[in-house]
Chains A and B, each alone.
Chain A
Amino acid sequence: MRALIAFAGAVFLGAVSLQAADNNAAYIKARQGQMSALGGHMEALGSLLKGKINKPDLLKAQAEALHSGSMHVTELFPQGSTDKKSHSKASIWKDWKTFEANAADLEKATAELAATAQKSTDAAKIGPAMGKVGEACKSCHKSFKEVEKDAK
């Protein structure tokens, strides 16, 4: 009887972990999409600043989008969800507290940038605020993202 229960349990656990493995690919794609979106907003904001393009409403909108896009990052990193396509390092789950703290720093920095943009889209204010966001991105990537395989 015990053997039967143990066997059923193993099949169940096997099925659950198989499903998790299937879903890993989805989680990975989802967060890669999220990260690409953040990159896109950074690219837009950076170009507006560098090009001295004076479009305050556009800048405010991008800063808002960057902030809302930067939320809930950790929810797309369930335990062990990495594979060949992923650039995530195993250290994410070994050092989850730091990963969470980094994600919180990002949310804080993007919130500050959005708030700054509401008050003034002056480059002298936006520049440093963007710098803080960049530091948050770099800091997390330094610990938890594999080094780039190509320059794109």
Chain B
Amino acid sequence: MSQVPLSVIFAFFAWAAPMYSQGAVQARDQSAIKRGEYLFHASGGCSCHALPKGDDTLGGGRPLKTPFGTFYSTNITPDGKAGIGHWSFDDFYNAMAHGERKNGDNLYPTFPYTSFARMRKEDVADLYAYLQTLKPSPRENRPNEALFPLSLRLSVTPWKWLFFHPQPVASEPKQSPAWNRGAYLAQAVAHCGECHSPRNIFGAVETSHYLAGAATGPDGPVPNITPDKKGIGDWDTSDLVDYLKTGMKPNGDFAGSVMAEVIDDGYKYLSEDDLNAIATYVKSVPALPR
């Protein structure tokens, strides 16, 4: 070994080092992608970004009817022109945490960045890594049909001043680790409150009535899922776990339409522990009649 010149040894490592670090990077990427896939499922599988039938990409175009107009979901596939393939992580993080497009324009809060802004940055990074592995779609984004002046993205700026002040999900030391995990998943990732909470006339979620149901949602009225008897008061934690896993309600009925979609595309893939955590948290929110 001492016969081999130092220069050769250095040269060998200089040659081998990129492969070693590339391998390490690849291993790191793979684990980020795996974690990102799990978070993707925890968020409900981004079903809003797929057409309800016959679509195997997240090419967008699904309409969301609101009192402010009809908004169309966007292409979040890695297509370099029609999707977000050309978006850096910073661009993606800006969308999730600040509700801004790549060019700095506001995103409409029909995209629930009000919840996603509360995700940990490293989780957003993993999600980004996973999304970049999906099947690209060339589908162009469809223009929204919002009434003037809401058709101007600038109109979202005062809305953000009033209603968009995201805080990370606070850790509650008095609660169990499971409750805290459930609080993070439910509030920031699964974003139950975006559909299941009522909204005021400006379209902002009424946090005082968290999960108490909404008169209009993406698919009609949305149920109260607080522990009130008008909600899921007579559901066990294990009933809620079963529902998120299989779609079956305690009375033997099965979830329909968009709720069946988010179960199929997302929540059914979560671990037993995480489903228990979400159920523990949801069963603990204030019981409110609708």
> Which residues of chain A have a CB within 8 Å of any CB of chain B?
35, 38-43, 46, 50, 87, 89, 131, 134, 137-138, 141-152
Contact among B224, B251, B260, B263 with A39 in the assembled complex (CB-CB below 8 Å): B251
A146 contacts B254, C-beta separation under 8 Å: no
Which chain B residues lie closer than 8 Å to A42 at the CB level?
248, 252
Chain B contacts for A142, CB-based, 8 A: 255-257, 260-261, 264
A151 touches B220 (CB 8 A): no
Report Cα–Cα, A74/B278, bound state, in Å: 37
Contact A41 B219 (CB under 8 A): no
Task: With A138-B260, A142-B260, A146-B220 as known contacts, state yes or no: A152 contacts B254, CB within 8 Å.
Answer: no
* CB pair A147 B220 closer than 8 Å: yes
Given contacts A131-B246, A134-B246, A134-B254, contact A151 B261 (CB under 8 A): no
| B250 in the interface (beta carbon within 8 A) | yes
In-complex Cβ contact of B254 among A137, A149, A151 (8 A): A137
Stretch at the interface among B17-25, B68-76, B117-125, B227-235: B227-235
Residues of A within 8 A of B235 (CB): 151
Docked pose: A145 CA to B261 CA in angstroms: 12
Q: Is A43 a contact of B251 with CB atoms below 8 Å?
A: yes
Other contacts beyond A138-B246, A142-B261: 10, CB < 8 A: A39-B249, A134-B246, A134-B248, A138-B263, A146-B220, A147-B217, A148-B253, A148-B259, A150-B223, A151-B223
CA distance A146 to B217 in the complex (A): 12
Q: A43-B251, A131-B246 are in contact. Are A149 and B220 (CB under 8 A)?
A: yes
Give chain B nearest CB distance to A57 CB in angstroms: 21
Cα distance, A123 to B224, chains bound together (Å): 33
Which of B224, B232, B256 interacts with A145 by CB under 8 Å? B256
Chain B contacts to A: CB under 8 angstroms: 53, 213, 217, 219-225, 230-232, 235, 238, 242, 246-261, 263-264
Across the interface, which residues of B come within 8 angstroms of A35, CB to CB? 253
Chain A residues with CB under 8 Å of B259's CB are 147-148
Q: Which residue of chain B lies nearest to A144 when distances are taken between CB atoms in the complex?
A: B256
Q: How far is the CA of A46 from the CA of B1 in the complex (A)?
A: 70
A141 to B247, CA, bound (A): 10
- Report Cα–Cα, A99/B73, bound state, in Å: 27
**Shortest distance from the beta carbon of B6 to any chain A beta carbon, whole Å:** 64
A41 to B221, CA, bound (A): 28
Chain A residue with minimal CB distance to B248? A134
List of A residues within 8 angstroms of B255 by Cβ: 138, 141-142, 147-148
- Residue of A89, A138, A149 near B223 (CB, 8 A) is A149
Contacting pair B223 A146 (CB below 8 A): no
Tell me the nearest residue of chain A to B52, going by C-beta: A143
7 CB < 8 A contacts A-B: A138-B247, A138-B254, A138-B255, A142-B264, A146-B219, A147-B258, A148-B249
